[in-house]
Structure 1
Amino acid sequence: MRKSLHAGVLALGLLAAGCGGAEEGGTAGSITADQVKASPTSYESPAASPTAGAAKVDLGETKIGKVLVGADGRTLYLFEKDKDGKSACSGDCATAWPPYVTDGKPEAGEGVKEGLLGTTEREDGTKQATYNRHPLYYYAKDTKAGDVLGHDIEGFGAEWYAVNADGKKAKG
């Protein structure tokens, strides 16, 4: 597990420097596995390892309105390819879209509906936070609170969207 986690962090660096993403006011188009491997830069993501204890989900302000954010204030996304509360994102996909993993039941911040929070087990055995049965992910190109570069783009076979407090795709 540790070896694959290290490889995942390294691969995030490749993605952060080399893959296309949405810029201010635009969308990224499609993301491919080749773009994940495009550059030798290193990038450390807080999503690369489980949180100590339960993950916290808050609401954060972005240019598209209030959306779910992780403990670090970075935007959380849903993947339309996920079905029945199970993640369909692994390998290169999980490098580009790191799952928001947790050691326990996620905690609801102000404005977040506790009853919509849950977890799903990933194929590697880790627990991923869910909201309204949508597994939650970061986008590797979002580097700070308020970034929504992964909103309304296609990658790995389906669309990605920031999540609103009702557990649906954010408008914007």
Structure 2
Amino acid sequence: MKISSRGASVLMAAALLGLAGCAGGGDDNEAAPPAAPETSAMPESSAMPTAGESSAAAGSVDLKTANSSLGEIVVDGKGMTVYYFTKDEKDSGVSNCTGDCIVAWPPVLTESDSPKVDGVTAEIGTIETPEGKKQVTIDGMPVYYWQKDTKPGDVTGQNVNEVWYVVAPDGTMIR
């Protein structure tokens, strides 16, 4: 079947109107979600990386510092807070967070043997996860995200079960 360019334009316009109708579809009283602030450190989605994702994009820092309600803390390159798990042993080379724990507390991963930092004065390294990935360590302790931190600056994992704590730039555990 042959369609004129005018007919094709009409069909395209109708299709776009149909798609636009699918996008709205809610109560006119609902407020649109707020736009995320623009910053080069923000992730495309403000959600925390999953256990299989690297914490920082190539060429950016893996860890940096940020001011929070708990003072100056260590965050990943996207601004997501990182935590220590007190059941880990310093310099053991392994994480004690496994099974359901790793679902709630994904490891901070990197692609590099020498993660890049900005403002973090503690010793930074890596350990190998059971899946063969590189988990970032601060002063010999693995670091993690908290699944309930949904945006940069969240520190909702602080003191969870009295075993999870944010990290200061010098590597001390903020209790």
Q: Which has the higher relative contact order, 1 or 2, with Cα contacts under 8 A spaced 6 or more apart?
A: 1
- Match for 1:147 among 145, 148, 154? 154
When normalised by structure 2's length, the TM-score is: 0.65
The equivalent position to 1:89 in structure 2, one of 97, 109, 130, is 97
Structure 1 letter corresponding to 2:52: S
Show the counterpart of 2:74: 68
Query: 1:92 & 1:45 partners in 2: Cα distance?
Result: 17
Distance across 1 between alignment mates of 2:170 and 2:47: 30
TM-score, normalising length from structure 1? 0.66
Deviation at 1:53, TM superposition (A): 4.4
State, as a whole percentage, how many aligned pairs show the same letter: 39
Does the alignment pair 1:106 with 2:115? yes
Number of aligned positions between the proteins = 124
Please list the CA deviations of residues 74-131 of structure 1 after superposition, one character each: whole Å capped at 9, or x if unmatched.
100000111124211122111100100111121111x212x60100011121110011
Q: For structure 1, which runs of at least 5 residues remain unmatched after alignment?
A: 1-42
What secondary structure, in the 3-state scheme, does the structure 2 residue paired with 1:46 have? coil
Matched letter for residue 151 of structure 2: K
The answer to whether the 8 A contact 2:64-2:120 is kept is yes
For residue 103 of structure 2, give the secondary structure of its aligned residue in structure 1.
helix
Q: CA RMSD in A?
A: 2.0
Larger radius of gyration: 2
1:129 alignment partner in structure 2: 136
Name structure 2 gaps, 5 residues minimum: 1-45
Give the aligned partner of residue 30 of structure 2.
Answer: none
Change (3 A) 1:47 1:167: farther
State the Cα distance separating 1:47 from its structure 2 match.
Answer: 3.7
